[in-house]
Structure 1
Amino acid sequence: MIDDGVKGLIKLSLDGVFIRRRVVTVFRFLFGLGALLVWQVGFSANSPIEPYSGATLIQQRDSVGTAEYRLPLGGLRPNQGVLLPENSQKIVARRMVFTHEIDRSNLPSEVLEYFLGQFQTQGFQVLFQCESVACGDNSHWANTVFKQRKLNGLDRSQTLFTLSRDSGRDYLIFYLVQRGNKNIYSHIEWFYEIEQGAEKQAAITSGHLYLYDMLQKQNRVRLEGAVISADGSFSRQRNEATVTSVSDLFVAHPALNLVLVGHDESKREFEESLEFSTLIAQNAAQVLGEIASNSSIPAHGVGPLAPVRGRTKAQGSPSFWLELVLLP
């Protein structure tokens, strides 16, 4: 027989077990609810660009609130001993960062083609683009600008885009690079909840304003971000930002007396250099003429002559390039 005292102790023990189980159940419910809420908040602010199929997410972070950022609108150039984008624009916004690793079995050209399709589908317009050594030092982009060591790769394999949507509703910086082990990394910085006046936003989305301003100041402006192939070809797809800016300049200021000038600073013989610089200018002028059917622009090459005043050639930067010159 069990006396009443022992029965009381057993009852207390069972009650304690029951209470502890209830507490554990409640905490599990609250934890699950909290995780669900966190997932829902993160999901509501997902990047508008879908990652490449099979890519592995290695970094995702979101700013707590708005902060000041600069959108790169030019390749890296030395500025008082420091590498900085040759042109940039300040914005105040929230930022989300996504970095993905893409298996080496994929071709960089196929990966880039996928993202170009994403930009078009989501309604983004290119403000600036560069590739290979025209972007500048890869290690500086990786470690200083993006602060992601996984992006350390080959200078010649890198591609950078700065894009906007709906006249500055949001912005993207997209960076693609292949490392020495052939793995590919995509890096997206998405800027949203923009806190900037319409006047400044318009300046970002209108590249022709920058061109016009520089022409008025110094009668010439280098076409930063213009992508010229080694054979001298100039494709519209690879130069969307440049083509749009120059075409808009033609429309906004049709009376400007402009000449497109090609430069070649390589170690070719002078005659060869002169011929190649003329070729790249003519190829670019042809593309521009197709876009702006009512406008045409004379094209000339000057070989290694008449470099841009005050321009310091960055190590590894392209040896051939284009500029607009304003004549009287």
Structure 2
Amino acid sequence: MRLGLAVLALGGCLSLAVSSVSAQAQPGAAVSLQLPDGATARSKRETAMGTYALPVGPFSAAGIPLRLKEGHILRRTWHLQSDATVLQVLDVLRRQLVEQGYEILFQCETRQCGGFDFRFGIEVVPAPDMVVSLSDYHFLAAQKPASSVTGAEAADAAEATQVVSLLVSRSGTVTYMQLIEVTPEKQAPLALVTSETSPPALPLQGQTQTASGLENLLEQQGHVVLDGVAFGTGGEALGQEAIASLERLAGFLDEAPKAQVLIVGHTDSVGGLEDNKSLSLRRAQVVKETLVQTYGVAEARIAVAGAGFMAPIASNLTAAGREQNRRVEVVLLSR
């Protein structure tokens, strides 16, 4: 589907001030965009080699059409506090993608995408870095065709294509932007040993999640799911399994006396949105109260939020997935 020129015609009347000029993206490099003036970077997550399911059509009874792409995956998010509409922000970024040689494969707005089903069928960076309003979001998928090739090289052209997805949504007074890029890159070969050679013993799961290990994860990823902080459907009480994780978090805060964190509660998809947002906030609050009352952490250093079921990390269609989604995350706000 070739939408590039049509896309530009559609957005021809839209305009929005952008921040300072950045360098033009080079083939194989991360997309370089001029963002709307006032936009702030929220997160950056990289996977050296992974698989991304690129949505290329709306949700239907058969699900969401996906195109699996392998390569280096870069996920970035930004927030914008302004009166700009979702389409105005999308138009600014979309134009730049087209100018940089990207071909729009698919684009939709909330209802055309499939609303709730589309939103929860695609990859979204967890809140609070990315929030998607179920009544106001736009999505597009694009690719940059490979350089002209002939003969035997033609078969590799599709694999060498660079793809991106752009998701823009507005919640309250904040516009949220997410860009996911997949760049085919030659990876350094893994070191190999014969099957008879015994590899070094791996540490037991959780062994490295000491206070210093938690600090490293927070600084590298920006957020961490608290191990053992799990809940039954509709529940908000902490079990004994949560003690070790909370002790590690308290230890980190003790070793970093100026650090401030945000505790974010999450739920599965059982029940309504507002009830789940309230439940998730109570889950975050009980973690904060435990840190303050049991471990002596200053209350002012901990903020709380509830994301409800808007940021799943697993499918809500299975019991195991719902269990993973009933969680609490800690987000590092300052160090």
What TM-score do the two structures reach when normalised by structure 2? Answer: 0.39
Larger Rg: 1
Which structure's residues are more often helix, by fraction?
A: 1
